[in-house]
Chain A
């Protein structure tokens, strides 16, 4: 069964460094998302991506964040200058089309900013 994959599973970085989190969504899906979960808190929406552009971003998704789908398969989240409060699990999700409600989530990347 197709699944969403994410790399790396864990990333430790120093404050101020850039990180790139990678995702390979399910191949025939058209909608792509990043969510995050800070330890002990809710899963929260960061950004949605459709038709090669951002369709919506949350207030968390400031100028330090960016997303790309560089080659038609990978979907990346870049944080330009990480802050301590960026430490969280980051989940990628994808969805086949607008009529289908189910988003399928990857296993997540645990980001720790020191």
Chain B
């Protein structure tokens, strides 16, 4: 059941440049999308979210864009820093009684100094 897909398992960018992480989904009922960052042996850390009724949300260096017609969202990190190197998970919220999250498989970002 691949409701949330991150098709790029890894991404490498130069420090100071833009990192763009992509996520696709199939279920049009999702009402929120969230990005989490995860370091090895730690839990996912919340980064930024976007409501399904918005097309952009920005928080400092992080911006998430949502294209509902394409069922696609992306996370932009500008400028990228070596400390951003981690695995990034896209997650979608199911608006039912549990509000559970459905996760993508993650993209490993490496920011080279």
Interface residues, chain A, with chain B CB atoms under 8 Å away: 4, 6, 31, 33, 35, 41-45, 48, 50, 55-56, 91, 95, 98, 101-108, 110
Contact = CB atoms under 8 A, between A and B. Distances in A.
B46 A98 contact: no
A35 to B, nearest CB: 8
A105 B103 CA distance: 13
A110 B43 CA distance: 11
Interface of B: 31-32, 34, 36, 41-46, 49, 51, 89, 91, 93, 96-106
B74 to A, nearest CB: 18
Contacts, number: 64
Given A101-B32, A101-B93, A102-B34, A107 B100 contact: no
B106 A107 contact: no
A103 B104 contact: no
Nearest to B43: A105
